Structure 1
Amino acid sequence: MLNRIVIAAAAIVLTAPLAMSGPIDSACVRSDRASGNKPLCSCIQRVANQTLSRSDQRRAASFFKDPHQAQVVRMSKSNADNAFWARYKRFASSAEAYCR
């Protein structure tokens, strides 16, 4: 029962309109891969707002412009990069599940 309530609350939060775009949304709309798909990019931003700090969002947004940077971070031996990558993976999995 509690799981259903949590899932329902998350769905409400993640589908609520976003008054302003964020770094992920902006980078997504400009990217070739999204082809200007504003609803998809907005959904991804809503997930980012729930799962990433603004600093992490700016860093993740940079991956749209330079995908190689994601690989550099993923392969890094730095504890800070590893912690960011763990947060980024959780964000990506959540965005994939909610923004189909």
Structure 2
Amino acid sequence: MTTLHQEHPTHEHTHGPACGHTRVPHGDHVDYAHDGHLHREHAGHWDECEAGGHSAHEGHEHQHGDGCGHPAVTHGDHVDYVHDGHRHAAHDGHWDDH
């Protein structure tokens, strides 16, 4: 799985711990959920943080949903669940690892 580098044009809001958007730890950085997509700071601008390709999270037995204990983040046309530094999304009977 790769992450695409797509700059978010004209993003004037500065994300941070008190900005009001959900923080999503993601590998070596933090994404911020904002208007159905995820932003990350990169080289003085904000990128859209989107996974490229399809990566199933193998052996993921936990079922995410309301009350599961993991933060839910609206992401485009679905909901991701933040779990152990990853975002999991339901897909064709399994969980994808974003």
Higher relative strand content? 2
Higher relative helix content? 1
Which TM-score bucket, shorter chain as reference?
under 0.3
